[in-house]
Amino acid sequence: MKGLSDKVVVVTGAARGIGRATVAAFAREGATVVATDILDGELADLVAQLNREGGKVTGLRQDVTDAAGWPRLLAEVVARHGRVDVLVNNAGIAIIGNIEEQTLEDWQRTSRVNVESVFLGTQAAIAVMKASGGAIVNVASIAGNVGEPHLAAYNASKGAVKLLTINAALHCARAGYPVRVNSVHPGYTDTPLVSNAIGTMPEEEGGKFTADILAHIPIGRLAQPEEIAEPILFLASDSASYMTGSALIVDGGYTAA
Give the start-to-end residue ranges of the domains of the chain.
8-193+225-247
| pLDDT of residue 197 exceeding 90 | no
* pLDDT, average across residues 230-239: 98
**Order of all β-strands in the sheet with 32-37:** 56-61, 32-37, 8-11, 86-89, 134-139, 179-186, 247-250
pLDDT band at 210 (very low <50, low <70, confident <90, very high): confident
Query: Is 242 one of the catalytic residues?
Result: no
Give the pTM.
Answer: 0.96
The DSSP element (H or E) to which 63 belongs, if any, is none
For residue 136, which phi and psi values (nearest 5 degrees)?
-115, 130
Q: 164: closest CA among 94, 127, 114? A: 114
| pLDDT of residue 2 exceeding 90 | no
Instruction: Provide the 8-state DSSP code for 189.
Output: B
pLDDT at 205: 82
Which residue in 154, 177, 188, 254 is the catalytic one?
154
pLDDT at 71: 98
Tell which phi-psi region holds residue 26, choosing left (phi > 0), alpha (psi between -120 and 50) or beta: alpha
Asked if 48 and 71 touch (Cβ cutoff 8 Å), the reply is no
pLDDT at 236: 98
Encode pLDDT of 132-174 as tens digits. 999 999 999 999 999 999 999 999 999 999 999 999 999 999 9
pLDDT band at 12 (very low <50, low <70, confident <90, very high): very high
Q: Report whether CATH 3.40.50.720 matches the domain 8-193+225-247.
A: yes
